[in-house]
Structure 1
Amino acid sequence: MDSETRVAVISIIVENPDAVSEVNRILHEGSSFIIGRMGIPYRARKINIISIVLDAPQPVISGISGKLGTIDGVSVKTAYSNI
């Protein structure tokens, strides 16, 4: 990637099992920018925790994060690298 992109981590907590397919659909749309993904099913609490690392233009990162944030039962936070 180049200097017009940013490295970011999107942290996702899925509390609604019905939301998983929508989360995966949105992540698939941005898959060309995803450089890593880790998913942890926390069965004791019946939630899924997902971390996505991207190298993408700012509008793409914001778009993915924003779409995920509109899903009922999904919490999203994004952290950006300073480089």
Structure 2
Amino acid sequence: METRVALIGIVVENADSVDKLNHILHQYGSYIIGRMGLPYAKRQVNIISIAVDAPADVISALSGKLGMLDGVSSKAIYAKLTEKDESGGANETTG
């Protein structure tokens, strides 16, 4: 199955949703490349970025489940990689 590289941006405004968020991320752990979390105390939010390599429907499902949590917003952005890129050829953005 073809996979996509994507970044899921997450903003957590409700700390009560963190356990559920971590549970969902654990369920999708095999697709996660890396994770970075930034607590922003001044605005009382946490900003999390998740890099994934997964089928598009899995990325969409993960982002959707996260966004349905109370006080959590999420958005996925996809890399413009082609099949040729994955085999070592030039990609669309660099020629």
Taking structure 1 as the reference length, the TM-score comes to 0.94
Residue 8 of structure 1 corresponds to: 6
- Please give the alpha-carbon distance, in whole angstroms, between the structure 1 residues aligned to 2:17 and 2:61: 18
Moved over 3 A (4+): none
Match for 2:7: what amino acid? V
* Equivalences, count: 81
Match for 1:31: what amino acid? G
Higher strand share: 1
Match for 1:8: what amino acid? A
Q: Secondary structure at the match of 1:44?
A: helix
For structure 2, the 5+ residue unaligned runs are: 82-95
Residue 25 of structure 1 corresponds to: 23
Taking structure 2 as the reference length, the TM-score comes to 0.82
For structure 1, the 5+ residue unaligned runs are: none
What percent of counterpart residues are identical?
59
Match for 1:73: what amino acid? G
- Please give the alpha-carbon distance, in whole angstroms, between the structure 1 residues aligned to 2:13 and 2:71: 5
| Bigger Rg, structure 1 or 2 | 2
Residue 37 of structure 1 corresponds to: 35
